[in-house]
Structure 1
Amino acid sequence: MTDTTILRQRTGEETPPAPPRAGSLLTGLLRTARPRQWVKNVLVVAAPAAAGELFSLHALARLALVFALFTACAAAVYLVNDARDADADRAHPVKRHRPVAAGQVPVPVAYAVGGALMVLAPAAAAWLCTPSVAALLTAYTGLQLAYCVCLKHVLVVDLAVVTTGFLMRAVVGGLALGIPLSRWFLITTGFGALFMVSAKRYSEAVQMAGKAGATRALLTEYTTGYLRFVWQLAAGVAVLAYCLWALEEGGVPHTSVLPWRQLSMVAFILAVLRYAVFADRGTAGEPEDVVLRDRALTLIGGVWVAMYGLAVVNW
């Protein structure tokens, strides 16, 4: 212990926190980028998979690049968001452990790295991909930045913005490969995302009852009844749109062993019903956590992927 530290203790003066070490800072930046939530960016392969365009090295390489660029944009948004919400996050029982709120990543560093990624990712997309991909990434970062600054405080609009972020992930894969997007694909993806987003908000409202304003002020404006209505409505529309898509394809002659596209409706509906169990309990947090931690839901999802894949390859 140094003489300066001893003197500070004797006089009652607080010792300033030590600056984070380089290794600790890099670890904090990586944690702030939310590696678990990178699972959401797998949606970039949704449109190409639906169109059966995943069976070439060119397509796989392009989608891997788009995945990385979207991950960079999402990481930039998380960094800026955590920097802005550092004070509020310290009042949350879980979010107070985030690197920025805990002091592992200084607020100015989070802003600087986030701002750099917001500029570099769309620029790289314009150079390595297509102008449409760059435009969508720019729109995504702009929309999410507006969300961090003000839109997350606007009733209902906050749900629409987060849902749009999921939808943009699904659309960008089609733009990268020049694949036309089905209206049923867009409706299913959009309302499926709204289902998960509103279920998460509902769970937050239930868990933070009486102190919601301390971490997400807008939760005090929603009622649990309204949020329940939203996730139930969204789940119903998503299921209906998926079934209409599957049955629409049923009129097309096929040579597969079984009608996998129609059979995939069963797995899709079971997955929605299983997810709704957690939504109803008020324990539907981050979508990737719900899916990965529940073995039954993971199994159902795997069965759906297998059926969907067999339908695409017409096996």
Structure 2
Amino acid sequence: MDIEALRTFVAVAGTGQFQAAADELGISQQAASKRIAALERHVGATLLVRTSRGSRLSVDGQIFLPHAKKVMATIEQAEHAVRPGHRPLRVDVLNRRISPAQAVYRFYRSHPETDLDAVTLGTRNAAQAAQAVLEGTVDATFRALPADQIPTGISAERLLDEPLELLVGPGHPLADMPRVSPADLHGHRIWIPGIRPGTEWAAFYRSLSEAFGLSIDALGPDFGDEALMDTLADSAELATLVGSGDRYLWPRTHDLRRIPLHDPTPVYPHVLLFRSGDRHPVLTALRDHLRASGPRTPPDVWTPAWSGR
């Protein structure tokens, strides 16, 4: 059924005049007549009867009108729901413990009137997440995606460079260091369970390992963050890498140590991907907030060559 024809029928029924309805809709009277004729052919009934004073509803038209109004009201509600600012902004934050989620949470705390949903797309890689943005599953996602892999229709803004830190237990040889360089990690096993081939974080850690000759692996099952914290606390050999803005909690008795990296400082380049031309006001506010409040990029920064800096 032609929605514009239905809209025209409701307008004519309301004004009682084809010309008045046409003026209201911004079309010609002839166009309005053609729409009504097409609608009547579609439903197989005469809906409007022309008179010397304009038009009136036929018996079938009187029965049809309430249903037509309901359809038009539903369409108006649907259109209103997806207009910028009339629904929550849906942001993929990868994992609720890591820096993008914490940044979005801080944004919400400073803008409590905003309407947004923080979601996670689970195991999807960067290309799949970008496709989800194009399809409208989410409005934006944080990914480390090379510029030459950004799909048409997607805009990208690198807004969250996250410095890495070493996380170790109290028995680790580097546990008492105030800070360490990547060179200091030679010979130490860095365990990051959950790295999956084909993901952007796999590409990042491969580049980091190759650049500094590090031993980074994902061997063994991933039983979650709590199990990783337990293992680090009991080990004098294992270490892992976390973002400086990532939020991990562990029992006080674990006595885990977060040690900044420097000389150079590896940073994970979180890029915000969103649909080109998206005018959602919360997206604009979030981008402004991240530009103003993101972590300060250290002077000795290192990122993979494919990250664009």
User: TM-score, normalized by length of structure 2?
Assistant: 0.23
Larger radius of gyration: 2
Q: Greater strand percent: which structure? A: 2
